[in-house]
Amino acid sequence: MQPSPPDAAWLARAVEIALDEDLGPAPGRDVTTQSTIPAGRRGTAHLVARAPGVVAGLVVVRPVLDAVAARLDLDRAEVDTLVADGDAVAVGDVAAVLTGPVQVLLVAERTLLNLVCRASGVATHTRRWTDALAGTGATVLDTRKTTPGLRALEKYAVRCGGGTNKRMGLYDVAMVKDNHVAAAGSVAAAVRAVRERFDVPIQVEADTLAQAMEALDVGADFLLLDNMPTPLLAEVVAAVRAREPEVGRVELEATGNLTLDRAREVAATGVDYLSVGGLTHSSPILDLALDLVG
């Protein structure tokens, strides 16, 4: 199933900010392109993969082109996408064909590539984790360690790569971590304080067996098992599962110090999720180019 794209209004705002960076405040200008390319000249460009990977972010191509055309007061460019977000591409594959005023194509080029290459890099990295976990029953999650201003796009890219979004921000899920426990005085006090004020899911971080058991005692139904070596992780998972007839189903997430070569070993402990901040904070871009072909 095709992942749901970012909200159209969010996309429009993100594109305008990116164009302002490149062109200056609206309408902005490209002193090179507007000097060397006649406004009436039309042409065709290919969005081409320079490296193998997973494409994501094609949903931004149309908004970028339309925004540039509006700024330059030129005709809209046409877009023919040949692959879908989430598809694998090889070197030389054409992901999309763009036809229209050459000024629009060239002015849009860097903004378009910045966004699509970034999203495709996240999707490509996520797919490696998805493939590594295939058949284990565990799923890779992202985190809030995203590029400021691009969270919706990067989390969409995670979905395109086969991963799952954990929470979108601080507003939709409570996550009780060590600093919250220290401030509140205990896990129980922190959980109680959240419940008294907000009706949201509550997740609790634990880095010892005792902390995990304390979290279950206060009704947590989602535990983050943080930076645990595999033997301890397996012990905690077994202890939590043993209490599920009493407390109900508990979702378990391994987090911290996770690498691809440990993925299946960690999944074998019985956790439901592996959360990997590197999906969004450390993914290299996927190399794509926009080549004029006519």
Give the pairing type, strands 53-54 and 88-89: antiparallel
155 noted as active-site residue? no
Three-state DSSP state, 95: strand
207 is catalytic: no
Q: Which two tokens stand for residue 210?
A: 């005792």
Catalytic choice (50, 110, 243, 264): 110
Residue type, 62: R
Concerning whether 196 is annotated as a catalytic residue, the answer is: no
- Does the annotation mark 249 as catalytic? no
- 205 a catalytic residue: yes
Coil, helix or strand for 284?
coil
User: 224 burial class (0-12, 13-18, 19+ CB within 10 angstroms)?
Assistant: buried
At residue 148's C-alpha, the angle toward residues 91 and 22, to 5°, is 65
The catalytic residue among 50, 76, 145, 264 is 145
Cα–Cα dist 116/61, whole Å: 8
- Which one from 207, 226, 253, 272 is the annotated catalytic residue? 226
Q: Which of 85, 109, 154, 205 is catalytic?
A: 205
Nearest-angstrom CA–CA distance, 122 and 244: 35
Residue 67, CA distances (Å) to 104, 181, 270 in order: 9, 47, 48
The partner residues of 142 in beta bridges, in order of sequence, read none
Catalytic site residue from 177, 195, 243, 264: 177
Cβ–Cβ under 8 Å, residues 136 and 269: no
CA of 30: how far to CAs of 37, 110, 293, in Å? Answer: 11, 11, 21
The residues annotated with a catalytic role in the active site are: 110, 145, 177, 205, 226
